[in-house]
Amino acid sequence: MVAARLERRSSAAAAAARDRLLGLGKRKGALDAAGYTVLGQAHDRLGEYDEAFDAFAQAKQCTRDDLGNEASLRQDTFLDHVRTFRTWYSAEKAADWQEPTTSPDQPKPIFFVGFPRSGTTLFEQMLDSHPNLVTTGETQILGRLQLITPSLLKRTGQSPHILDDLDATEVAALGRWYLAEVARHSGVEATKMRVVDKMPLNIVELGFVRRIFPSTPVIVALRDPRDVILSCFMQNFRANQAMAHFLSIEGTARLYAAVMELWLHYRSDAGLNAIANTATRTWWRTLRAQRGESSNSSASPGTKPCCNTRAAPASASSARRATPTCRHPFTTAASGAGATMPGNWPRHSPLWRPSCANSAIARNEPGEPSG
């Protein structure tokens, strides 16, 4: 298995990895989820897309067999979590919140979020290379804070509803706890370096972020939804409450639609300081060309212009240059292998078949960003 993992990384050796795994499967009768995933990636590298899709489907079936009914329970739990934040948060409510009582020089962390497989790891590595930034990796500091908020403040209730009645002193206490945990985890005081909290699915909890750190910068990594859904399906994630959705294309699309609809809800709040990159233009023009449409055609009715330029936070980019403000859910926040456009999905498109994956994308497909 280890040898096959190494071999599949090179296109020249991918065939050896494929043959090794197929032989292993014949001897054992079947592979496990990890084995089928590596086999699928080898097939994908070789352009054998039907076989790749079948291998990924076998991997998911192995995981479903292991989880049994627990898979659907985990999926329902996380979707309920997303819906809770959707119904709880509103721009009008946020406008009435008391500001925390903090000193003017207290640093504000940068929250880096997005749906899994949207280029967050690559972009985090770029940010972490800056001498004045420290990234937290995928640590659940914000998630832990939500869990302990009632006991920390000696209040009854649960997040996020417990946040509604907090006074400024209580909000500040939550912020101090968060910064202390970041310092303990990273070994660096937040006053010495700017903290970048990278946890993709914290995109669901941006309302919590907005409550504890008003106007703190948020970077949202966004990518062609078809590539995101396909890439999630092609990985062998541990099946926690969120990742349990990735056991099928349909389940992945359902979660993507729910999470990104919540993001659309958040971005309607002008008080949320969210920024992203405008590298999406190439993808939009490619998509329109495939449809036979003009690249200069206007955005769909009801679509907001998205590319207004504002200055980036002082330590939020290595170049300290102006950073485009994104008001659009489907831009790409990083270039490179994770954000290649038009992407990997067209090579697998015949296998999508009519499904909720297509309908979920169609419901959320916006017009071309202007600018």
Q: pLDDT digit string (tens) for 243-290?
A: 999 999 999 999 999 999 999 999 999 889 887 643 444 444 554 555
- From the CB of residue 362, how many other CB atoms can be counted at a distance below 10 Å? 9
pLDDT (0 to 100) of residue 276: 66
pLDDT over threshold 70, residue 312:
no
pLDDT (0 to 100) of residue 175: 92
Question: Range with the lowest mean pLDDT among 83-97, 122-136, 249-263?
Answer: 122-136
What residue spans define the domains of the chain?
Answer: 2-67, 77-364
Distance CA 73, CA 315 (A): 42
Q: Under CATH, which number does the domain 77-364 receive?
A: 3.40.50
3-6: long-range contacts, CB 8 A cutoff, minimum separation 24: 4/35, 4/38, 4/39, 4/42, 5/38
pTM: 0.76
Please answer whether residues 160 and 88 qualify as being in contact, where contact means their C-beta atoms are separated by less than 8 angstroms.
yes
SS3 128: helix
Share above pLDDT 90 across residues of the chain, in percent, rounded to a whole number: 39
- From the CB of residue 317, how many other CB atoms can be counted at a distance below 10 Å? 18
pLDDT over threshold 80, residue 334:
no
Omega before 160 within 30 of 0, i.e. cis:
yes
pLDDT (0 to 100) of residue 324: 29
pLDDT (0 to 100) of residue 292: 62
SS3 197: strand
Averaged pLDDT of the chain: 76
pLDDT (0 to 100) of residue 199: 92
